[in-house]
Chains A and B, each alone.
Chain A
Amino acid sequence: MASTKQTASTELPNGPGAAALLAAGIGCATMGVFTLLAEASKGINTLFSFYAPTGALSGVSTSAIVVWLVAWFALHRAWAVREVAILRVSIAAFVLLLIGFALTFPPFIGLLQVT
């Protein structure tokens, strides 16, 4: 993704911020993808029912949170002391955020299921 380099400056590098930003994008997109999967397949819907009274929403949200936190941890470890290409990371994070919004919008999910 980003061309990275070790920072020698005493100023805080943008790596930790970029890691948090991209991980948030990943978390939002994962929420959307898991929502789509739970809507598209009865088997996956049942699989995501971690807590019966809440239904698939419990598994969709819990799994998305786990993916988000794991992604954040991994990216933070990789970028903690680095300067990264923040513009590219920002664009990727926004695309992922938009995927999250689109895939949680029921008419869009319906459109994908039809096609």
Chain B
Amino acid sequence: MEITWRDLMTVLHGMGFGALFMLAFTGAIAELYRMSVPGSPAIPNPRYQTLFRFYLIGMVVLAWLSVFSGAYVVYPWYRAAAPAGLADLAAYPRNLLLSSPTTSGWHRLGMEWKEHVAWIAPIAITMVAYVYATYGPSLAKHRHLHRAVFYFTLAAFVATGIAGAFGAVLNKYAPIRGGETIQLMKGN
């Protein structure tokens, strides 16, 4: 069982950071919504508050790791220019997609959108984490601020969804392969 270095880094970027960040939205959205629901306990115990603070900080770390690993590790492999006249473009995903009218849209819409919109997520979630860390459960008393924080969390989720969905499809049509081969285990 083998994996190439570039495959491994792409998996780490997409699944290790991106997908984990995406999954974490469920908890963040649920808790931020719960705070505003009439009848729910306004002030959870201190241990729960601390846990949620660390939860949001974890999301911030995952968000920034996801965009930086994408922009500075995976993206350069994706956009590397193929030498002129090269017939097999498998090692040059961007050129491979642009070489056919049936796949060029995945680059022109998919990658062009993904690479930029993704940055909205870490900016938004950093703000959300800061505001919760500053106000804690008393955020619910600042009704408009709380509502704005909730909608920015949803916006970060949408931005992450766009980036993640296009990332998954792009990796199907033009996978990033190459680099050193790492042997994970020997087969029979």
**Given A14-B145, A106-B109: A97 and B152 within 8 A (CB)?**
yes
Interface presence of B113 (CB below 8 A):
yes
Pick the contact of B116: A14, A31, A87 (CB < 8 A).
A31
Q: Which residues of B are in contact with A by a Cβ distance under 8 Å?
A: 67, 71-72, 75-76, 79-80, 108-109, 112-113, 115-117, 119-120, 123-124, 126-127, 130-131, 134-135, 138-139, 141-142, 144-145, 147-149, 151-152, 155, 159
Q: Which residues of A are in contact with B by a Cβ distance under 8 Å?
A: 11-12, 14, 16-18, 20-21, 23-24, 27-28, 31-32, 35, 51, 53-55, 57-58, 60-61, 64-65, 68, 86-87, 89-90, 93-94, 97, 100-101, 104-107
Closest 8 pairs (CB-CB, A-B): A53-B76, A24-B127, A104-B116, A90-B148, A27-B123, A104-B117, A86-B144, A106-B112
CB atoms of A86 and B142 under 8 A apart: yes
Interface of A is mostly: helix
CB atoms of A28 and B120 under 8 A apart: yes
CB atoms of B71 and A21 under 8 A apart: no
Q: Shortest Cβ distance from B67 into chain A, in angstroms? A: 7
CB atoms of A28 and B124 under 8 A apart: yes
CB atoms of A104 and B123 under 8 A apart: no
Pick the contact of B127: A12, A23, A87, A107 (CB < 8 A).
A23
